[in-house]
Chains A and B, each alone.
With several copies, the nearest count.
Chain A
């Protein structure tokens, strides 16, 4: 093709026997948004990591702007103008936003090697404005929420003015508002003729912005198609290998008495008089914009953060929760939004991660019962299929989505009374989502009370019996299932005021 920018041919990669990629073809053209789709573990990230020199392919060659491209390290990739938003957020927590964004290309005084800090902060401020982020360039990144960190990655990648921009699940933690901002940027880049590889498990997004779609399945190249030529179901079928009847299998469950009740819970300048309850058999969805403080409320309930005022009741009995252990003892489980920092022990095996919170049940006081441990894990992997070489694979070598599944499994294994899910389907493919929704629906039917924070409105609408909307640390509104539209929820969330 004349306007072909990138061609990857016969790319294969095996990680010690396991084939992540098998002779994959991938071609990107000038000024197009090319969606790369596939189930969790299909090989999308690996293919892109090869392009950015983080992984060396076993075979295959790469042609970039007509010339063969030997990429041995991220440096060379950047030098050739290939920038990437990585699926796994990778900030340097102790450094400021500005230092993170300009790491490796700090403005200097001449060529002295001395950093021009005023200029550094000015340029950062400009970038942040461009993306409508009200953040101080001098804030340390460790103070940011997951969503904000993700925005940061986007700002950084875009600011390279690359000749090819790769976005690996850039929106997994973002809510409508920021997604819109991102799409504006993408439009601008398209006009400048910058090609973009876009990886996402949010199908709506694909159909909004993609021009062409390439689908991988189990590391194999399936097809490349123009988006217009595809229906949602066709795309899903291509990815999963079979049609997927009902994505939101929400069954009506018998809603019982309140299990978790929260009375005007407050924490200074994070959230104030939060008041809600969730009943057995009920799925309570919580929507909101980035910085709404949803995660924070849940962290407080679970005993990770302190709160200043308010009361929490479990089964009507006032609960004194000072540390996570207390919450867990009361039958509460929290799937945190930040799997890397708070969810997983990356250097340990899938099995050890899944059972970490349940070992008391799986052991006779001291010794772990190996068989019942394996049994418990197999049961979970039966409900949620994790693509792995075995229960002993280290979690850090799993694909992003599969890591998320491990976190879910870890908490589901405890069979809690109250299950709190913060962005439960972050980076999870449609098929797996459906599995998880079915599981939630079943658990609700069996009387579990479920709270689901999500920035993905379809999911909220599709699964919740009741929907709370939060903004600026307050509850802005409450809706019953099927009595509200996405637009109304957004309205309510923004509530006229600006976003934090």
Chain B
């Protein structure tokens, strides 16, 4: 539900002038700026930063949060939110782990099983939201606790060790210099970007977020679209969970704790409105990268844990404020 504030009216006008594509660049301009600034700064102050090795390192680190953030973008564009993805990840992780634990050959099966589990859980959130008009926050909060419980019961609170090499490749392997998760992330971005910009479904996602009733009255099955959005998000959360399990070579019932917050943060930093209807995948990608680069950079500069938090907070705030300015 989008509320034009006196300033936003002015902001909007920026877009009106530009073509959709370039306007979304203007939108991100401030952020891209921040990202570049951060990169330049870091490459000046830490010679470890701008090495192929470290760049791949950062990309590997962001790819899981990236996949989550892309899914979350869809949900937030419909003016929804999904708190459950962290727990959904855990469920997917332990299910996949248990499969390859028993039968190391079944990597594909494990991945699919994990994703389906995610999709199922999220379809419940989606249905509660779309059909029973439960606030997404609550619906997904409920699923968040339930899913966590499921993961703990399924494993009886014990991590499941993974040894299957083919499965471990997903999170730890590389194709050439590029880590596999990064490739997955890139593919997901491409697919979802196309989904949003080129398909009816994408249009409906934006329309629902912008004005749900107008969309209904235009004859669109809003409930269906919403539920699909949550399912897609669940799939991606499941995928992320599987990758995480592979990355840490164990399916942990309490993995993914708090991941939802990072994902949402990336999306919102990327300029997507929590009131729905406005936002892009490119924005989200920039958001994800900013967070990733900050985390990596602060470690490379060896900033102490305490001060890392302060610096992180300030940079995020600064980034968004600068972004706002650039939209004026």
Contact = CB atoms under 8 A, between A and B. Distances in A.
Instruction: Tell whether any CB of A sits under 8 Å from a CB of B in the complex.
Output: yes
A359 interface: yes
Contacts of B277: 92-94, 345, 347-348
Interface string B174-206: 000000000000000000000000111111101
Interface string A308-341: 0000000000000001110111000010100001
Contacts of A371: none
A405 interface: no
Contact of A342 (B14, B200, B217, B221): B217
A325 B221 contact: yes
Given A393-B15, A396-B9, A324 B217 contact: yes
B143 to A, nearest CB: 27
A142 B203 contact: no
Contact of B219 (A15, A104, A393): A104
Interface of B: 1-4, 6, 9-10, 12-20, 23, 198-204, 206-207, 210-211, 213-221, 273, 277-278
Contacts of B18: 392
Nearest to A56: B10
A43 interface: no
B10 A142 contact: no
Contact of B6 (A91, A304, A397): A304
A143 B16 contact: yes
A237 interface: no
Contacts of B6: 54, 303-305, 323-324
Contacts of A360: 200
Nearest to A339: B214
B214 A343 contact: yes
Nearest to A77: B219
Given A93-B2, A138-B20, A356-B218, A347 B278 contact: yes
Contacts of B204: 104, 359
Contacts of A368: 198-200, 203
Interface centre among B10, B198, B199, B203 (most CB of A within 10 A): B203
Interface string A438-480: 0000000000000000000000000000000000000000000
- Which range holds the interface residue count of chain A? 35 or more
A95 interface: yes
Contact of B215 (A94, A103, A327): A103
B203 A103 contact: yes
Contacts of A2: none
Interface stretch (A107-115, A191-199, A428-436): A107-115
Nearest to B273: A347
Contacts of B13: 15-16, 18, 397
A229 interface: no
B16 A16 contact: yes
B199 A104 contact: no
Interface in A139-175: 139-140, 142-143
Contacts of A306: 10
Contacts of B219: 74-75, 77-79, 104-105, 324-325, 327-329, 357
Nearest to A103: B218
Contacts of B1: 93
Given A17-B17, A328-B219, A342-B217, A396 B211 contact: no
A375 B84 CA distance: 43
B217 A397 contact: no
A394 interface: yes
Contact of A95 (B199, B207, B213, B220): B207
Contact of B217 (A90, A349, A352): A90
B216 A356 contact: no
A341 B3 contact: yes
A10 interface: no
Contacts of B198: 114-115, 367-368
Given A93-B211, A114-B198, A349-B20, A356 B203 contact: yes
A118 interface: no
Contacts of A352: 203, 206-207
A207 B177 CA distance: 78
B214 A342 contact: yes
18 contacts: A77-B219, A94-B2, A113-B201, A138-B20, A140-B20, A305-B6, A328-B218, A343-B214, A348-B206, A349-B20, A352-B206, A356-B207, A357-B219, A367-B199, A392-B19, A392-B20, A394-B12, A396-B9
Nearest to B279: A94
A25 to B, nearest CB: 24
B206 A95 contact: yes
Interface string A86-108: 10001111111001000111101
B200 A94 contact: no
Given A93-B1, A305-B9, A345 B16 contact: no
Interface in A52-93: 52, 54, 73-75, 77-79, 84, 86, 90-93
